[in-house]
Amino acid sequence: MFTLVIISNQTIKMFSTSCHYGLQAMLYIALHSTADRNVDLNQIASEQDIPKHFLSKILQLLVRNKLLISMKGPTGGFRLSRPAEKITLIEIIAAIDGLDVFTQCGIGFKKCSDSNPCPIHHDFKIVRERVKNLFETKTLYQLTRDIENGDSIVNLRKPVVQK
């Protein structure tokens, strides 16, 4: 378990490293796979600088949660289980970290609630709800579209495959 927000070196972190890697891998797969082209685990690990064995466990979790399809063989690899328009970021987060992050205390108290609030509970509840809404409504397609249109960037070593 982890606290909703960890402030370290000027960075605010809501999710586990596994979740960050899962989100990055799903975005990478959405950008690089096609109906007849899977993305190889080694390619994702190398391009995203994610430890291969760690990434393998994350991708299998996403397969078990029906967000990815895994194919074996010479043309094997991973691809999305359904169109990127139909996969929200909250689904990826839920598969890896669960949704407790959107209900936990912002400063880490175990017994924090509307009836027993910590000093920032009511303000932070608003922030949590807005962030949750963002992840519930944002799809992988929206992210890939913004990248392909040049409105957003990602740290990829290889250019995005135009579909």
Question: What's the pLDDT score for residue 156?
Answer: 57
Question: What's the pLDDT score for residue 154?
Answer: 73
Confidence of residue 34 (pLDDT cuts 50, 70, 90): confident
Region of residue 98 (phi > 0: left; psi between -120 and 50: alpha; otherwise: beta): left
* Contact of 159 with 148, CB cutoff 8 Å: no
* Contact of 120 with 43, CB cutoff 8 Å: no
Phi, then psi, of 116 in degrees rounded to 5? -135, 65
User: Over the stretch 112-153, which tens digit does the pLDDT of each residue have?
Assistant: 999 999 999 999 999 999 999 999 999 999 999 998 888 887
Calculate mean pLDDT across residues 87-114.
Answer: 93
Q: Which residues contact 49 (CB under 8 A, 6 or more apart)?
A: none
Question: What's the pLDDT score for residue 99?
Answer: 95
Helix (H) or strand (E) holding 78: strand 77-80
* Contact of 139 with 84, CB cutoff 8 Å: yes
Extract the tokens encoding 84. 């990127």
Question: What's the pLDDT score for residue 12?
Answer: 55
User: Over the stretch 37-89, which tens digit does the pLDDT of each residue have?
Assistant: 899 999 999 999 999 999 999 999 999 999 999 999 888 999 999 999 999 99
Extract the tokens encoding 23. 């989100």
Distances (CA, A) of 139 to 48, 85, 90, 145: 20, 6, 9, 10
Q: Which residues contact 75 (CB under 8 A, 6 or more apart)?
A: 38
Domains of the chain: 6-148 (1.10.10.10)
Question: What's the pLDDT score for residue 106?
Answer: 85
Extract the tokens encoding 37. 């082209």
Helix (H) or strand (E) holding 70: strand 68-71
